[in-house]
Structure 1
Amino acid sequence: MSAYVVFTREQTTDAEELAQYAHKAPLAREGRELTPLAFYGQLEVLEGNEIEGAVILRFPDMAAARDWYNSPIYQEALQHRLRGANYRAFIIEGAEETL
């Protein structure tokens, strides 16, 4: 069953660090089955605190999402994201389709 990694950027603290993250993070996608479904597009917060942006990535399953997140390449890029902004990130399993 598909799994989704969701990121919400709540506040940028260092734009240069985020630029380094933006340069390095795509390298972790190479050779992996993932589909960007939303990537910092127009958004409207309906409830809760405002956010600056959001990303949704689809993976084949929870294991593939965890493998990508925990990969050495992504973990190296992640350090720049953590220094560059306050984010929330989580993995959620998709729902089975019903007829």
Structure 2
Amino acid sequence: MAAYAIGHLHEVTMGPELVEYLERIDATLEPYGGRFVIHGARPDVREGDWSGDLIVIEFPDLGSARGWYDSPAYREIIPLRAENSRSTILLIDGTDDDHRATDLLA
């Protein structure tokens, strides 16, 4: 089942370090089958409040997501993002294709 790396970024300072991060991140994703699903889009907020930027990267499975995040190539560029934004990053499993909301009741 697919898994996701989700980043919620605030107070992003776009400068040379963040540009370098953006230039290097794609190469870190490739060995783990990662691909951007949401990156840079502005939300149409229908309920509640929203601030910041949302990034969603899809991986084939949670092991691949963990492998990417813990890889030397990605660990090397984390400071370029972390020192230029306030962020929450999480890795999470997706659902099976046949998932229904009521599955949570089981």
Which TM-score applies when normalising by structure 1? 0.84
Q: Which residue of 1 aligns with 2:42?
A: 42
CA distance in 1, matches of 2:31, 2:14: 30
Structure 1 residues without counterparts, runs of 5 or longer: none
- Rg (Cα) greater in structure: 2
CA distance in 2, matches of 1:43, 1:49: 8
Greater CA drift, 25-34 or 55-64: 25-34
- The letter for the 2-side match of 1:50 is S
| Higher normalized strand content (fraction of residues) | 1
Aligned ranges 1:1-99 → 2 under 5 Å: 1-13=1-13, 15-45=15-45, 46-51=47-52, 53-96=53-96, 97-98=98-99
Evaluate the alpha carbon distance shift between residue 42 and residue 48 of structure 1 in structure 2; reply closer, same or farther with a 3 A threshold: closer
Let me know the Cα RMSD of the aligned residues. 1.9
Which TM-score applies when normalising by structure 2? 0.79
Greater CA drift, 73-82 or 13-22: 13-22
Q: How many residues align?
A: 98
CA distance in 2, matches of 1:55, 1:14: 16
Aligned 8 A contact 1:18 1:84 in 2: yes
CA distance in 2, matches of 1:70, 1:77: 11
What is the aligned-residue identity percentage?
Answer: 23
SS of equivalent residue, structure 2 residue 87: strand
